[in-house]
A and B are shown apart, each in its own frame.
Chain A
């Protein structure tokens, strides 16, 4: 709280990002965890909540006649443009937010103060909800070829791996230790996924310390052990997910990639996914496109192309598809790495698992997948998401890209996921929110040191509580689809408006099919209950029931999804000008009634600024009633 000098500022305007509609006027509050804006000009109380941890950047723009503008960009792609009357107030809010949004000490993260009034027991049970051992059991491990070893229990092998790892039985302790010395940061090859049908495995590691000529017998034995754990295939793939040039450049630093001559029966392959810096810049460009005011179609498509974002998404997807095909069609095991094996490798391995195994497309399975491939294997969430004040060059949207790949798959295979888009967005929000312990720190060891299992809550039980709103009404069940083979031609990838323009409700479909179907689902349950209740009351009934549609009332209003709908800025920018140079909405010739209409027209009425991001005020968001003009 010591950072908050001005907890409340009145007469603050909130500008609309796209149109010149009249700005909202209200009061801004700073709490220990949130920035809250209460719109006083709206008829219904409208609140905008921004979690401090969600703030990516705060900018003070040059003073205008209206006041001092404060522009906030959030990590969940919410953009808020405030104008504060007094320069001094603005500055105080600005400096407070700078400190609040990027704490220096881990103990200041929200998760350590978040108290959902849950018993200690329940909190502990929450952390036990996801047990990776169970997932390995599901794959049939331990078996003749693979074992779960505690070789890393004191982080001797690798301090960014979890204590328990899965390695080939044939690889003894010496092999493991030897291999770890030859792999960047000791990240040895371990099992990510075993495809039970044919014993082909996906394994992951970091780059070898091969330099120009170095080799390591234990590492070669390790790969041999992995290959031989799949007797059905005479060879295995080694996939380096970096562009070849990057990998070659690494050799000069004593790192690099596997020499095919030194390893028996491997097929080595590069898949050019760019590094974290390219991805960060790409996202930056994409967001600039998304934020452009009244862009033409051409501006937008050119910007989308120049950002390279969809090209990168496609590269990640292609790599995932390659892995899945190698395992399923070629029955070959695959070892995947990039540089450190915690960014691209995590994306690609988790995507391949998702393509191969329908379990990972369920609620539980998706949580397991994230825990396993991302959290346990040391994806540096804290650095990549910029949880703490740190090196901005470490920040990169690696996990966002994975989430987007899942969304792209949902577009192609709408019946194969148990959960819907909102589940993805919710997870994405919490990766940045620091409200739960799961994504804090950079690896298992660090989370232990931070005592997150003692001091914080796990996200997953909270998500499961909201299962009803996150489920996919079109899901055909666990057994309906096995492996997915997505189309990866460029036209199969869409711009994800629901993510990058998520808070610009005006751009989204005004009627939501998902809402409609979800209400169908809940209605269905109610009706089934009704029917069985009524049937019980009619014990003497014989003969078939009339099933013809009868004069029951139209679908209850509850099933109607609210439609947010007002015209937008169709006149374009700048407003069309007549030949004589006057603006179209020329005031002089207008009658009073026209004048009033004009105001309505130009401010386009409340397009329902559903700016509130955080679930806390979700009820507010659903407030948009159908607008009858």
Chain B
């Protein structure tokens, strides 16, 4: 990866965080060079570009690296003004940022925690996830639009979007059930609309590959937790 102009993305095939950035770049029609990083065997490039966290995704624009997916999304939206992801109005922007944070911290994270835990901890995490979904469902219903941001895909849709193609896999891996379509009709409809968009559906990881990966990854995390407890 040379230090030249242009847009480069360092990612990992199954990372929902990298996927957010890919979606944003595609929706804005931004050409970029993609480099796949094996997070189990990280190249020196990752620590060079993201010395604080050593993680992907990292967006490099004009030689300057930006990390943390939500921060990258904001950067992309500010630099490339076509197909805006965030609304223009400051209050609506604040609401979008609030819900994006909620989608990341309460929706996505609690599902993953439920997958990686067992027993009482797992039950607690599932309960948190369901509660988060209930709030998300309420807000989607209240807005009454096709996507969170309106008639087109926006900031919150992209941040929450990982559940559209990974939730079912997580539920299977973790032997949990969160998205009951009769209980969450608005979310179910939103997922359908989201995945219906050609740029969103294009190039998503295969279900069986995701299943294999998340099975392995969740077991690693679960055993790490156990060893911390018994240490």
Chain B associates with chain A: no
Residue numbers of B with Cβ under 8 A of A are none
A residues contacting B by CB (< 8 A) are none
